[in-house]
């Protein structure tokens, strides 16, 4: 069975190089634990070299985004070639914070294709802005997933990962995350949509992670009682202790 997946999205933190070094030093103390997982760390770009160098024995480097174009001269853009030169293996695409800034599902679709052409695994973020008792958010999820994966064939779809991250649950506490039964509903729904697009075999091969107020307090139940394959972790990944708790929950026996 494939290892559980744990992705750390540092966003625009830590605030200094010295803080980043301290965090990595503390994370490395549990390197033996992280070897039981597929761990990816997505730091701010200026920390790429530091993270790549100091996590070689327990984690892979990821990027928080990828450009929609792989060639050309564009000021401020970090090309896939540059990302790969640092050892980036995975790119977070379509994060809710990027979508809030105006990124569309069409943009996400182009970025997925760029990542795949470049040999970088796309972690495609999908999630409703609000959750309602009538289930209308499922229509939003269907539309966002379909448009984000537009133009992707079944063979390419096997190379992607999905992160289900309801926007309303991000950046809060564990009590604000989805409860296991609600997360199970959403994962089953997404698997059904993927099966409709690519067939059941492909749908089953695509890992679905959860992101949205994941902490040590709730990670265990979310992992054991649902069909997710791991987590996309935001603020809790900036604490070595919290990240360790989440990692432990992914490999502990029920």
pLDDT tens string 99-153:
999 999 999 999 999 999 999 999 999 999 888 777 789 999 999 999 999 999 9
What CATH number is associated with residue 233?
Answer: 3.20.20.70
Residue 63 CA to residue 82 CA, distance in Å, equals 11
pLDDT computed for residue 129 by the predictor: 87
pLDDT 10s digits, 68-100: 976 778 888 899 999 999 999 999 999 999 999
| Full residue range of the structural domain in which residue 121 is found | 5-251
Span 33-57, average pLDDT: 97
pLDDT of residue 252: 78
Residues linked to residue 42 through DSSP beta bridges, in sequence order: 9
Give the range among 174-178, 203-207, 223-227, 237-241 with minimum mean pLDDT. 174-178
Q: Which one is predicted more confidently, 51 or 135? A: 51
CA separation (Å) from 123 to 73, 132, 136, 161?
Answer: 25, 26, 25, 5
Q: How far apart, in whole angstroms, are the C-alpha atoms of residue 124 and residue 73?
A: 26
Residue 38 confidence (pLDDT) above 70:
yes
Decide if pLDDT at 24 tops 70: yes
Q: Which of 103, 128, 144, 165 is catalytic?
A: 165
Instruction: Output the DSSP codes for 74-111.
Output: -TT---HHHHHHTTEEEEEES-HHHHHTT--HHHHHHH
- Cα 42 to Cα 62: distance, rounded to the nearest angstrom: 4
- What pLDDT shows up at residue 172? 67
Tell me, yes or no, if 137 is annotated catalytic.
no
Residue 253 in this model has a pLDDT that exceeds 70? no
Active site residue 128: no
Which helix (H) or strand (E) segment is 32 a member of?
helix 31-34
215, 196 contact by CB (below 8 A): no
State the chain's mean pLDDT as an integer: 93
* Annotated catalytic residue within 95, 128, 137, 144: 95
* Count of domains forming the chain: 1
pLDDT for res 100 = 93
pLDDT at 176: 67
Phi-psi bin for 210: left (phi > 0), alpha (psi -120 to 50), beta?
beta
How much is the pLDDT for 228? 96
């Amino acid at each position: 069975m494939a290892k559980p997946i744990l992705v750390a999205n540092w966003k625009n933190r830590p605030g200094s190089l010295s803080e980043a070094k301290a965090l990595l030093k503390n994370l490395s103390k549990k390197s033996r634990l992280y070897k039981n997982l597929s761990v990816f760390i997505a730091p701010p770009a200026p920390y790429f070299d530091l993270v790549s160098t100091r996590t070689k024995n327990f984690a892979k480097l990821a990027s928080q985004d990828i450009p929609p174009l792989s060639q050309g001269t564009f000021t401020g853009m970090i090309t896939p070639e540059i990302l790969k030169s640092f050892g980036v293996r995975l790119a977070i695409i379509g994060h809710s914070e990027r979508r809030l800034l105006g990124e569309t599902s069409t943009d996400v679709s182009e970025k997925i294709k760029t990542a795949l052409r470049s040999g970088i695994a796309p972690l495609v973020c999908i999630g409703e802005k609000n959750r309602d008792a009538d289930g209308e958010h499922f229509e939003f999820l269907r539309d966002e997933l379909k448009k984000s994966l537009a133009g992707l064939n079944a063979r390419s779809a096997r190379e992607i990962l999905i992160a289900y991250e309801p926007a309303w649950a991000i950046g809060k506490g564990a009590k604000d995350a989805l409860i296991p039964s609600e997360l199970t509903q959403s994962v089953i729904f997404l698997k059904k949509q993927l099966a409709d697009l690519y067939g059941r075999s492909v749908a089953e091969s695509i890992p679905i992670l959860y992101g949205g107020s994941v902490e040590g307090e709730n990670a265990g139940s979310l992992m054991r009682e649902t069909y997710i394959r791991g987590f996309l972790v935001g603020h809790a990944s900036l604490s070595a202790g919290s990240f360790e708790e989440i990692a432990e929950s992914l490999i502990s026996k029920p």
